[in-house]
Structure 1
Amino acid sequence: MQKKNVFASILVFFVGFMALAQEDLPPPEAMNTPPPPGQLPIDSNIVILLVVALGFGIYKSYQYSRRNA
């Protein structure tokens, strides 16, 4: 019975916290405006990001296979 009370208390706390942490949506006219200048697009360096991620994956799999061999 004690575990159920603790679980229920934690659940109520986190549900209340999540409800208060929700961000208000901007008005509809603000949703259609373009982003302000100065923000960089991700598509210009996506190839570099993929190459680095692939290299890191190969490195980690090599480490894993060496450790378990």
Structure 2
Amino acid sequence: MKQFFSYSLASALLVLALTSQPAQGPGSGGPTPGAPAEPTAVPLDGGASLLLASGAAYGLRKLRRRRA
């Protein structure tokens, strides 16, 4: 009996997990044809330069330790 209960519970959970459950309704369909495309603003100022500088400093540190 216990095994039957666990199998039925597992199969019920599987059926519930596999059914499609949309989180949102259908959208508007996107932009209308002929509408002017606006450029997307991407902030590449502080983060990218900080990553580049830290990568260069790490590389220089590795080179100096290798030569010493």
Q: TM-score range by the shorter chain?
A: 0.3 to 0.5
- TM-score of the aligned structures, taking structure 1 as reference length: 0.40
- TM-score of the aligned structures, taking structure 2 as reference length: 0.40
Greater helix share, structure number: 1
